[in-house]
Amino acid sequence: MEISNNSEDQQAMASRKYIHWQDEGVEKIPPNEAEDIQAVADMINTIQKAQYNMHRHCYSGTHARTQGIVKGMLIIEDDLPKHLKQSMFAHAGQYPVVCRYSSEPGDPGLDDRIPQPRGFAMKVFNVPGEMFDPTKTAQDIEFNSTPALDLADAKTTREIVDLRIKYGNNQPELYKRLEARPDTDLQKFRDSVRNTHLESTRQYSQTAYRFGDYVAKYCLVPNSETQRKLYEETVKPDAHPSDILHQWLKNFHEAHDAEYLLQFQLCENLHDQPVEYAGKVWDPEKYPWQTVARLVVPKQDSFNYELKTFWEDHMRVDPWLGLKTMQPLGSPNRLRRVVYPASSKLRRIMNGRKEINVTSMDQIP
């Protein structure tokens, strides 16, 4: 369910009782979480080293395959209701953005014909407000094409990444162990996702974030008729090449403008909408998505080789370097606060590259 910003809908949604981000129970850190997180950081580095041995280049531990990178504008209108005027959305504005489409696994050579979750990352420039790191002035926003996160908390992540390292090349053995788990459906879902055109794919934050005074998840919804029609275009393994998603994306952006709606789903019930466990979808019928901004992407070349290399070798996307009023919440995000810097550090060392603090679109090829 999605709510428009007409006055009747706004009044109904404004009257609902939303969880404050500092309310009791929003975050509960379990025992031994720090140990689990460090173990995951070490395992992600192990995955990166294994990929380096194959490609002689070090990539991120997840979302290693770049499908395309585009530039656009995030537009916030002045007609938002009061409960949505939060954080960077408190005032109307237009902010330059650079966005990367990706495939989620850590293998940069992953065949597009293999169904897997897809990712989308957005770096938003010139955003006003207090940052976690005052030297980082961009807001990073991350998405994944599945609404629930299989790596639902630090303990689960440690268990699943360990299984993938041991049995990732032997699916029958991996499935035997996944089927012994209570969350087997969640863990196996990634292998059966709908493999469709990236431009038609809805993207989700999966985890919860502070949203000004409140707690929310967010999503990105393709909004042009051209994008929506592409949803029926699915990958056919016997008819398409191994880089079909990249080809489709490049062909689309050369011929069409794109538009997405950025929507937030506010937390009202911590039992129905857990923050610590990201493996549960927040019911959109009970807790509707509400639009806060539009992402507009004009026609362009979505696969500039220089920009791709710059992003992969020098840029870092990390919402923990963003606004304090957009603070990542819950176990998976506390994990990211350790794993992301560790992954980035190893990449720079192994590739002989330096991280560049990108604060302006002018720094990007």
Confidence of residue 180 (pLDDT cuts 50, 70, 90): very high
pLDDT of residue 4: 55
Of 9-18, 39-48, 62-71, 338-347, the poorest mean pLDDT is in: 9-18
pLDDT value at position 201?
Answer: 97
User: Number of helices and strands (H, E) in the chain?
Assistant: 9, 10
- Residue 2 is predicted with a pLDDT of 59
The candidate with the shortest Cα–Cα distance to 184, out of 206, 152, 140, 229, is 152
Token duo for residue 352: 């002989």
Confidence band of 8 (pLDDT split at 50, 70, 90): low
Coil, strand or helix at 221:
strand
Element (H, E) at 344: helix 331-351
**Average of per-residue pLDDT across 48-74:** 96
Q: Give the residue among 258, 240, 355 at the shortest CA–CA distance from 302.
A: 258
Strands 2-3 and 289-297: parallel
Report yes or no on 363 lying in a domain. no
| 361 within domain boundaries | no
For residue 362, is it within any domain? no
Angle in degrees, CA 183, 184, 187, rounded to 5: 90
Residues 72-126 have pLDDT tens digits of 999 999 999 999 999 999 999 999 999 999 999 999 999 999 999 999 999 999 9
Which residues lie across from 20 on neighbouring strands? 214
Q: Given pLDDT bands bounded at 50, 70 and 90, which one contains residue 66?
A: very high
Helix, strand, or coil here: 290? strand
38 part of a folded domain: yes
DSSP per-residue string spanning 125-166: -S--S-BSSTT---EEEEEESSSS-SS-SHHHHHHHHHHHHH
Report d(CA 363, CA 136) in Å as an integer: 14
Q: What is the CATH number of the domain that holds 14?
A: 2.40.180.10
For residue 244, tell me if it sits in a domain. yes
Tens-digit pLDDT profile for residues 196-207: 999 999 999 999
Burial category of 73 from C-beta neighbours within 10 Å (exposed 0-12, middle 13-18, buried 19 and up): middle
Predicted TM-score (pTM) of this structure: 0.95
pLDDT 10s digits, 222-236: 999 999 999 999 999
pLDDT at 137: 93
In terms of residue numbers, what domain contains 325? 2-355
Find where tokens 């916030």 sit: 76
Beta carbons of 121 and 85 less than 8 angstroms apart: no
Residue 6 has pLDDT above 60, yes or no: no
| Residue 10 confidence (pLDDT) | 74
Q: How many domains does the chain have?
A: 1
pLDDT (mean) for 274-300: 97
Question: Does residue 89 sit within a domain?
Answer: yes
Asked whether residue 150 is assigned to any structural domain, the reply reads yes
Alpha-carbon 79 to chain mean position: 27
Residue 123: burial class (beta carbons within 10 Å; 0-12, 13-18, 19+): buried
- Please report whether residue 313 resides in a domain: yes
* Mean pLDDT on 258-269: 98
